[in-house]
Structure 1
Amino acid sequence: MSTKGKVIKCKAAIAWEVGKPLCIEEIEVAPPKAHEVRIQLPGFMFSLQTATIIATALCHTDAHVIHPKFTEPMFPVLLGHEAAGIVESVGPGVTNVKPGDKVIPLYTPQCRKCKFCLSPRTNFCAKLRKVKNLIADQEVMDDKTSRFTCKGKSVYHFMGTSTFTQYTVVSDINVAKLDDDANLEKVCLLGCGFSTGYGAAINTAKVTPGSTCAVFGLGGVGLSAVIGCKAAGASRIIAVDINSEKFTKAKALGATDCLNPRDLRKPVQEVIAEMTDGGVDFAIECAGGSEAMRAALECTTVGWGLCTLVGAAVDDQELNVSLTDVLTGRTINGTLFGGWKGLDSIPKLLTDYKNKKFNLDALVTHTLPFDKINEAFDLMYQGKSIRTILLF
């Protein structure tokens, strides 16, 4: 029986309050309105139409909203932003996807009309409303209402995707179409972690052949940055993390050296400078926290060193930069979703994956049933997982 135009009841993980485990609940998912897509997520997928989530993965950003230090709490909320799924139905005006299409929901929209989307210089889109807090952005649909209801209460959306559910609704400018033969369980990582880290090296830092690089933080994003540095032809890639258990994986993916700041007798930036005749050409900071950001900047060489900021801790607000760092030629930039224009770039990244240009499988350390989502969070907090895939 067709579900088009009908409310769908399904399973979802709801965050009801700060610092508490997510609760598996039955929710109601309304049909998509104009320019929306409903997606079924047998992992995770996204779109502003109706679709099914097939597979979804866990990212530290999902944990920020329920952290006690997060500045803009919004509850109840349906988290999740790294997924792949299948379009169940679409609202009026949707032309880029159709029911049955495999898709990835994207937290970075691409309207293709604003001055940002029309510029090759950025992947930002004017539809991202809260520039100061991108995590809290897109908490409702464009008509200021939610498509999710649980126990009679309206539930907030999250980053325009909300993938911790069997069905979600997203905007048609937040969904990328995939080839019919795409393996949704693996390519869901293109929705955030891999694309962000890989793109930070390829698009934002623009790592050059023969260069030296340092990558701070070896989670899914940081390891993807290592992959990107290697793909760009870097001659030396120094991986930095306070968890030495991640070094084997980092070296397998392309790191030439690994450093644990807690094992060193002097600041890690000084050690890196000594190893590289004054500093690396490129540093990519994927851990978050002012101390790591400062170390990443200071480990780059004077004259032309570039520090690209990717990671952000939940309470990161600002970074103090000395005038000397700027005047001596060091540069800082930042990246959102690795600089990719999602609707245009995801299909190309999928082609590269199928052509074995990079290995997404190496980033997946655990696969769990969706009901074990809180166990997946624990694995992430304990540093025991890179990416955990949740399957319904």
Structure 2
Amino acid sequence: MSSSTKQPDVITCKAMVAWEAGKELVMEEVQVSPPQPHEIRVKVVCTSLCRTDITAWETQAIFPRIFGHEASGIVESVGKGVTEFVEGDHVLTVFTGECKTCIHCASGKSNMCQVLGLERRGVMHSDQRTRFSVKGEPVYHYCAVSSFSEYTVVHSGCAVKVSPHAPLEKICLLSCGVAAGLGAAWNVADISKGSTVVIFGLGTVGLAVAQGAKLRGASQIIGVETNPEKYEKAKAFGVTEFLNPKDCKEPIQQVIKRLSGGGTDYSFECIGDTGTVATALQSCCDSSVVS
């Protein structure tokens, strides 16, 4: 059999496995199965930690599990039917995949793919089975990525090819936090030039929103954040004014409305708190957009 048709073998590598909710992750030797049709196996070069990983580790019921979903890596092998990737390609993982044919993918208005939408059951989309195991026992996936492993298997629609010249140690942030924030500003809200914007939370997502708002020409970008250490960095991303709710003697939405001349045109909640969502809505003018 020629090397071009040889089927990839099971790989044994290191991975951080969560055995129970809230319990310390354990470095384990895991077996990673070959990619099945329309899947690729990726050598993970860099992965970052998202707050969503921590929340799921603390609360979700599917264990044992390998977390992580913001990753950059190199394609190690490809399954049958994969045409958009070859061995050696540099990629970013995408936890909300795109089949490119369903009604949502075709609309251009949503990324909630009907085929490769949010995966919460810990198995692959194609056969509802896991590609990880430890001593013969299944270990489950997370967000269709599981990047806290030296190797992982993802559906080909859950990865994006990138330039081999892009620094993998930096661009892993683009696969979730930056894409979410910049996409919310650029694609969802479609921020208009000269508009006013407020952003609740100046983490990775919030800073990406600020950058997107700046690029779209927003005239005022208000950052709401309780950690003053983030202020200087946020200026470089485009934030023009800062508010710390702890320093305000009145509800923060009233301060924002006064500062923006009646409420902002766009409001972004980048914390993930239902109470803050209501505050973000109350900070807007009557014709604004909330994301």
TM-score normalised by length of structure 2: 0.95
> What amino acid maps onto 1:228 in structure 2?
G
Matches of 2:121 and 2:106, distance apart in 1: 22
Following superposition of structure 1 onto structure 2, how do residues 292-331 of structure 1 map, counting pairs within 5 Å? 292-302=276-286, 304-308=287-291
Give the conservation status (yes or no) of the 8 Å contact 2:199–2:221. yes
CA RMSD of aligned residues (A): 1.5
Whether 1:270 aligns to 2:254 is: yes
2:151 matched to which residue of 1? 167
Identity among equivalent pairs (%): 44
Q: Could you tell me which of 30, 54, 57 is aligned with 1:27? A: 30
Residue of structure 1 equivalent to 2:235: 251
SS at match of 1:197: helix
Report the Cα distance in structure 1 between the residues aligned to 2:136 and 2:24, rounded to whole angstroms.
20
Q: Secondary structure at the match of 1:33?
A: coil
Match of 1:97 in 2: 85
* 2:38–2:156 CA contact under 8 A, matched in 1: yes
Match of 1:118 in 2: 106
SS at match of 1:161: coil
How big is the shift at 1:66? 1.5
Equivalent in the alignment of 1:281: 265
How much has 1:180 moved relative to structure 2?
Answer: 2.2
> In structure 1, what is the Cα distance between the partners aligned to 2:35 and 2:119?
23
Distance 2:73 2:80 in 1: 20
Cα offset, 1:240, TM superposition: 0.5
* Aligned mates of 2:69, 2:138 — CA distance in 1: 19
Offset at 1:112? Answer: 1.3
Which residue is equivalent to 1:63?
Answer: 54
Check whether the contact 1:128–1:138 (CA below 8 A) recurs between aligned residues. Answer: no
Partner Cα distance (1:12, 1:279) in 2: 48
Equivalent residue of 1:201, what SS?
helix
Runs of 4+, deviation exceeding 6 Å: none
Which string of whole-angstrom CA distances, capped at 9 and with x for unpartnered residues, describes residues 231-290 of structure 1? 110011000112121111111211111111111111110100011111011111101212
Which amino acid in structure 2 is aligned with residue 113 of structure 1? T
SS at match of 1:118: helix
Deviation at 1:179, TM superposition (A): 1.7
3-state secondary structure, aligned to 2:130: coil
1:371 corresponds to = none
Equivalent residue runs for 1:43-54 within 5 Å:
53-54=44-45
* Correspondence 1:85 to 2:76: no
- Cα shift readout 1:88-129 (whole Å, capped 9, x = no counterpart): 001111101000111111111111111111112222211145
Could you tell me which of 217, 222, 241 is aligned with 2:206?
Answer: 222
Q: Which moved more, 1:99-108 or 1:178-187?
A: 178-187
One of 4, 11, 14 as aligned partner of 2:14: 11
SS at match of 1:123: coil
Could you tell me which amino acid in structure 1 is paired with residue 15 of structure 2? A
Give secondary structure in 1 for the equivalent of 2:285. coil
State the one-letter code of the partner of 1:166. Answer: E
Secondary structure of 1:281's counterpart equals strand
Paired amino acid for 2:289: L
The 8 Å contact of residues 128 and 137 in structure 1, kept in 2 or not, is answered as: no
Match of 1:358 in 2: none
Is the contact between residue 217 and residue 285 of structure 1 (CA under 8 Å) also seen in structure 2? Answer: yes
Taking the aligned partners of 1:279 and 1:84, their CA distance within structure 2 comes to 39
* Partner-residue secondary structure (3-state), 2:106: coil
Contact 1:216 1:285 in 2 (8 A): yes
Q: How does 1:112-261 map to 2 (within 5 A)?
A: 112-128=100-116, 134=118, 136=120, 139-261=123-245
Q: 1:260 and 1:150 mapped to 2: Cα distance?
A: 47
Code of the residue aligned with 2:48 in structure 1: it is: A
SS of 2:57's equivalent in the other structure is coil
Q: CA deviation at 1:181?
A: 1.6
- Which amino acid in the other structure matches residue 57 of structure 1? S
Question: How many angstroms apart in 1 are the aligned matches of 2:74 and 2:202?
Answer: 31
In structure 1, what is the Cα distance between the partners aligned to 2:169 and 2:122?
A: 25
Q: Deviations over 1:333-367 (max 9, x none)?
A: xxxxxxxxxxxxxxxxxxxxxxxxxxxxxxxxxxx
Contact 2:122 2:130 (C-alpha < 8 Å) held by counterparts: no
C-alpha displacement of 1:166: 0.7
The 2-side partners of 1:209 and 1:31 are apart by 49
Kindly provide the amino acid, as one letter, of the partner of residue 74 in structure 1: I
Q: Which moved more, 1:231-240 or 1:242-251?
A: 242-251
